[in-house]
Structure 1
């Protein structure tokens, strides 16, 4: 009698995983997970509840029953997406990769996705304050007395938010997983199925129609402040309702303390009265226009600190105490009608001491005031000169600004143009197009108050056909022959663009320099459009580092490898590794082969980098190419293709979609893995 072996199911292999790995992945990628949850949650919750629920969903993603010393039993991890193939896969213990493509992150991401989609299935009649099932139960964080809102975006962001409101949760999830997480269609379908979506394939098809025809623009908008629940603005809730609710308690409390208050008053009267301790008295000097700090007109030429503290007060309304007072009071307590925005990591609290006045005047139909707050922030207040529109209050970080990053501030934006207030040390400003590297700069008109004529802004969506920048030159009174580039990425302070040349043979490591040379402009012509993904994220400077040059197989042509690093005012950086293959056009966009957030790569604290990509030769053959920085002495490939080569570059024949692991050896010792 034959013996039948029990059937084995490959999708339910049991692993044990440590909660520590999942927790580490959650903490490391917390902003990314909260943004994903925010996009997937039903817009009907309202922006305030959606912000809090997104944080709650992510914070509750770890299994409640699991402790740090006891691991839950869960199905094995799907290899394709880093997410579970069935219901809740898990990372592989202590060796799990916590990166965005790793098992631990994929496991946490599916739990977040499952919980966010559960809100879509909640009955409409479900009372918000009654106990709910675990997936729907309200949880920390809880905010009393305040309403939280992500940064307001523009018209395009609003249109995208409305489009997402018109579809169901699985479609929003498919859209976010593709554009934010970078998953392909099969990976999205698999992840949605594991999260309990009813029709994953249909959700993917419907999501593919969202954001057309500019999917790159939609991706940039999803990464903007409009969909970032980690960077929020605050407003009070219904003050009258709160007063009614606490009035009875307040009366009772008042009766308890009235006797004591009267005794204190009698005692103070016996002592001859006391000082006025009202809050208004505390903040009165800070909010008094007469107390504003003002810098002498020529101070910038006689100081070693050339930054916003050296800017004089300019504009036609610097003596208008009424305007200055309104601006200061709006800063201390913005009215409901005011639009408030802040770059990530910027506080909007009132000033602790009288701020410095930089500008007060009329620009493009608005009265504009610019303040500088103790070396930390620049604040812009604008009120319309006519009509009933509300005021605007914008905050931006500017700590440790210098000659270049403190050289200009956006004073007005209208339509597709912006006007800048230039630093007093700027001479002969010009404008140029990064996508026309051979075209010289054009003179930029500047008024007597330091405000420029309108400068075209880079388009946030659609075709990337031009990229306007300012080419500024410092006065010879502080430095000779110093020209530099800045560009507008949507914040008050424009972004400083630099370039690090290719490594020289036997020469020491190169340092970033101004991006005004021919070599720098040619490199920026092919990478400028990648700056779109950085809009509105509080970027201070962006450097293009040409870390390697590689001779390509089957010919004499060469390709360049660039690491484009964006540093923010608050510290964290973002890296794009771009491959510049030979192109018929000098402005053909480079291929982005790696994208990493919150990393020290390609900075002075991360001087080693290795990256790879698939490349097709003119013959039709496919290769895996890799390149490393100057300290790389050997590159090895394993996986679908094996090979090795001495030096900082590597090429091997491989199928188009070959899965290859790349590692490198460093001159000083140690190993380096490829960035993804």
Structure 2
């Protein structure tokens, strides 16, 4: 039986590829080639560097020679790929130019997977790419679901050749003989071992097409702005110092003069040194919150079995001050990601699942540092703004996320924790067990992908007996759910959020602090079709900017509300401007179409797009299916009100 690493030679002449053909293949199949490079590159590079390196390797694969014929390079034939059902993939596998480009990209990605050695010159692929370069931004693919995360973590444990074998099977639909031939041509010493190692990973090849692994569809986040400014300032100071030094060296006499009012460098600044010294971390006494009028993060005691691990704390503080390229840094919108201004407060340090986690608080931000139990590769640093957090907003912090599950560290004044499915308000909350340190058992968070069939919220009961609802929106701190008039919101119940919960997905990862649901109008529907509620949900952020407002039309028989209007950065539905107007086109059970509209109680009349006018804050007039739901309203003092937008 023929070994896959030694495919028999074909009697047909090897196709010849010139640079024009290679360039055409590169342009046509660029997204596929970049995805291939991204998947084969070692995840330890970090998502930002993997993206840039994948693009650099793909662009660098184009042959430098402009000549054809004898100077051209032979194309690599694809293997048997019997599963390639897509037309684009089939054309690619049959194109010698594409096969050549794929081989060059694969060689570069495998070279980049080899660690640097002190006794050998580094290969070009092992060095950070000169181009492309993106300054001031971190680029990374869009986040997928728990399955994609699990696959990425599993692939990270493979060798570069095994990752390449898995990707060639799944992305290129090559059979084992074809994979072995390509790996051998790329310089792999033992393709059979690579194939055997790839067999250890479950064949979830469909996930390779996920946006999680698409380095051409990217999200952008700022780098550490404070650190960048410090570097710019330091560079300016250094340049000025060189000029002054040159001038002084040309002067007669002593040369250097006194420093005057100049401060010492940051490295010699006592405050800066103290901020990075684990011995200077502050902590609260275990029962301090019982004697204080405050219930905020400053009253949390330090908990966890690693609070005495000075080396772990030193690493956490050092990464906070200057995260390396391999560190995955994230920050909620509006949150600075700079170094600590002074000694921070230690909230937690311990082992959670497969990681060591440290939680710190500097008065403005919660900072979460996580590293694997073995080594420090793949460390993560997360920032969340929590200035002014008191009571409910300081009740819980995420310590770990894995496979769609969440673990929280709860405040010392929390007496019980439960999980409530908001889409099933009649069901009782499911109790969640906590460790002695206050860390919850893992439980399923709100679904991030697919149909919205459930929405789990956290129900926390504190020492006063009050129960409060919060929900995970992708941040370190859960968002507080309230209900009622914007001027006087109150604690929400699951029933008040049962038809609006799925709309919370639209404000995920936006730095949301609180979300209020306000039923601003109730309308009797035409033709005895029952009644409907008009609900306005307003999501306010920690930064005070980027609020998101939705007006929803909710019928008694509908499982979820229909979005009638939405707005961003608007005072509508808030305490400063508690009024709203929205309209929808609605079809009765008999098949008739109506223009429905409703405003808050301070709206005294509503006018439809056809000039129909009604007294009061609700409108229902016959309409055409193709009509536009355009309304205007009037307040008691004659002020005009437009629909939410």
Q: TM-score if structure 2 supplies the norm length?
A: 0.63
Q: Which secondary structure does the structure 1 equivalent of 2:333 belong to?
A: coil
1:58-457 counterparts in 2 under 5 A?
146-150=135-139, 153-155=142-144, 229=220, 231-234=221-224, 253=243, 256=246, 259=249, 277-282=264-269, 283-374=272-363, 376-386=364-374, 389-457=377-445
Query: Displacement, 1:667?
Result: 2.3
Matched, 1:485 2:481: no
Matched, 1:461 2:445: no
Q: Which secondary structure does the structure 2 equivalent of 1:550 belong to?
A: strand
Structure 1 residues 417, 662: closer, same or farther in 2, change over 3 A? same
Q: What residue in structure 1 maps to residue 584 of structure 2? A: 613
Query: Displacement, 1:530?
Result: 1.0
**Contact 1:367 1:384 (C-alpha < 8 Å) held by counterparts:** yes
Structure 1 residues 385, 286: closer, same or farther in 2, change over 3 A? same
Give the alignment partner of residue 551 of structure 2, picking from 550, 559, 577. 577
Give the alignment partner of residue 497 of structure 1, picking from 462, 466, 481. 481
Query: Displacement, 1:511?
Result: 2.4
Structure 1 residues 510, 233: closer, same or farther in 2, change over 3 A? closer
**Contact 1:579 1:591 (C-alpha < 8 Å) held by counterparts:** yes
CA distance in 2, matches of 1:343, 1:337: 20
**What is the number of equivalent residue pairs in this alignment?**
448
Query: Displacement, 1:388?
Result: 6.1
Q: What residue in structure 1 maps to residue 523 of structure 2? A: 550
Structure 1 residues 252, 490: closer, same or farther in 2, change over 3 A? closer
Q: What residue in structure 2 maps to residue 633 of structure 1? A: 604
Q: What residue in structure 1 maps to residue 620 of structure 2? A: 651
Structure 1 residues 622, 352: closer, same or farther in 2, change over 3 A? same
Matched, 1:661 2:638: no
Q: Which secondary structure does the structure 2 equivalent of 1:533 belong to?
A: helix
Q: What residue in structure 1 maps to residue 488 of structure 2? A: 511
CA distance in 2, matches of 1:569, 1:348: 15
CA distance in 1, matches of 2:411, 2:294: 13
CA distance in 2, matches of 1:669, 1:298: 57
Structure 1 residues 470, 384: closer, same or farther in 2, change over 3 A? same
Query: Displacement, 1:145?
Result: 9.7
Structure 1 residues 357, 387: closer, same or farther in 2, change over 3 A? closer
Structure 1 residues 354, 257: closer, same or farther in 2, change over 3 A? farther
CA distance in 2, matches of 1:252, 1:432: 64
Query: Displacement, 1:556?
Result: 5.6
Structure 1 residues 652, 377: closer, same or farther in 2, change over 3 A? same
**Contact 1:233 1:341 (C-alpha < 8 Å) held by counterparts:** no
Query: Displacement, 1:155?
Result: 3.1
**Contact 1:306 1:402 (C-alpha < 8 Å) held by counterparts:** yes
Q: What residue in structure 2 maps to residue 61 of structure 1? A: none
Structure 1 residues 258, 596: closer, same or farther in 2, change over 3 A? same
Structure 1 residues 671, 456: closer, same or farther in 2, change over 3 A? same
CA distance in 1, matches of 2:263, 2:512: 44
**Contact 1:146 1:236 (C-alpha < 8 Å) held by counterparts:** no
Larger Rg over CA atoms: 2
| 1:432-475 CA-partner distances (Å, limit 9, x unpaired) | 11111110011110101111100211111112111111100111
1:517-528 counterparts in 2 under 5 A?
521-528=494-501
CA distance in 1, matches of 2:304, 2:473: 25
Q: Which secondary structure does the structure 2 equivalent of 1:570 belong to?
A: coil
Structure 1 residues 373, 429: closer, same or farther in 2, change over 3 A? same
Q: TM-score if structure 1 supplies the norm length?
A: 0.61
Structure 1 residues 152, 292: closer, same or farther in 2, change over 3 A? farther
| 1:360-387 CA-partner distances (Å, limit 9, x unpaired) | 111111111111112x110000111125
Structure 1 residues 261, 494: closer, same or farther in 2, change over 3 A? farther
CA distance in 2, matches of 1:262, 1:289: 48
Gaps of 5+ in 1: 1-41, 52-143, 160-212, 502-508
Structure 1 residues 562, 621: closer, same or farther in 2, change over 3 A? same
Structure 1 residues 147, 437: closer, same or farther in 2, change over 3 A? same
CA distance in 1, matches of 2:434, 2:320: 29
Q: What residue in structure 2 maps to residue 533 of structure 1? A: 506
Q: Which secondary structure does the structure 2 equivalent of 1:404 belong to?
A: helix
**Contact 1:147 1:236 (C-alpha < 8 Å) held by counterparts:** no
Q: Which secondary structure does the structure 2 equivalent of 1:544 belong to?
A: strand
CA distance in 1, matches of 2:251, 2:563: 68
**Contact 2:146 2:403 (C-alpha < 8 Å) held by counterparts:** no
CA distance in 2, matches of 1:496, 1:414: 23
CA distance in 1, matches of 2:256, 2:629: 83
Gaps of 5+ in 2: 1-30, 39-47, 53-132, 149-205
Structure 1 residues 257, 155: closer, same or farther in 2, change over 3 A? farther
Q: What do you get for the CA RMSD once the two structures are aligned?
A: 3.8
CA distance in 1, matches of 2:542, 2:484: 20
Q: Which secondary structure does the structure 2 equivalent of 1:424 belong to?
A: coil
CA distance in 2, matches of 1:551, 1:523: 19
**Contact 1:411 1:421 (C-alpha < 8 Å) held by counterparts:** yes
Q: Which secondary structure does the structure 1 equivalent of 2:318 belong to?
A: helix
| 1:22-57 CA-partner distances (Å, limit 9, x unpaired) | xxxxxxxxxxxxxxxxxxxx999x989x99xxxxxx
**Contact 1:146 1:234 (C-alpha < 8 Å) held by counterparts:** no
